[in-house]
Amino acid sequence: MRLYRFLSGPDDSTFCHKITAALNKGWHLYGSPTYAFDGETKSMRCGQAVVKDVDGIDYDPGIALSDY
């Protein structure tokens, strides 16, 4: 099964750590990162899609993607 997640966060080191943690759990970057202004918080936000292949498990909409 192939899993997909979109990780987002503030434009600071916590976002970089979130992506680094995902990469170290076997996730791979998918596409280009995004960068946008959040008008509500008046701050910049980052986003990055990641994917991961997991063998031997069938997809179920109830799975917790963060467990992988």
- Backbone dihedral angles phi then psi of residue 57, each to the nearest 5 degrees: -130, 135
Residue 4, pLDDT > 90, answer yes
pTM of the model: 0.86
Query: 22-53 pLDDT, tens per residue?
Result: 999 999 999 999 999 999 999 999 999 999 99
The encoded tokens of residue 62 equal 């109830």
Contact present, 42 and 59 (Cβ < 8 Å): no
| For the chain, domain boundaries | 2-60
